[in-house]
Amino acid sequence: MSLRVAEATAAELERAARRRGLSRSELAERYLIEGVAQDEFPEIGFRDGALGRRAMLLGTRLDVWQVLETVRNHGNSVEQAAQYLGLPVERVRAAVRYAAAHREEVEQVAAREIEAAARAEKLWRAEQELLAS
């Protein structure tokens, strides 16, 4: 696919790509993918983190995978998860809808985050054991 954009837009894309260590094409593709997703799921945004880019519920600090895990931990009840999170049911449903449409992506992010948390906890326990001896 070829795409024509204004020179100023191309220059800004080039600067943004350099700042992020990406090629202009990689960043343009990311913007296109995320823009299409945000059109379809307006309550979902995207942010960078230590383990990569991930979908999040706008207006919160919650990633989509965290909302989904909370729903699963509440017997798959969106209503109970919404109450626990202090969010309207519709907001939780928005995250679940996004997760359903992008299941592989959300599950990969969740697996990375859960694995990192387990590694951090293991390291913390080793530190505590070392300090106690």
DSSP string, 91-122: HHHHHHHHHHHTHHHHHHHHHHHHHHHHHHHH
Q: Angle at Cα 29 formed by Cα 27 and Cα 32, nearest 5°?
A: 110
- Give the pLDDT confidence score for residue 35 in this predicted structure: 93
- Give the pLDDT confidence score for residue 2 in this predicted structure: 83
Structure tokens at 58: 């706008």
45: which strand partners?
56
Model confidence, pTM: 0.83
Q: What is d(CA 19, CA 127) in angstroms, rounded to the nearest whole number?
A: 36
pLDDT < 50 positions in the chain: none
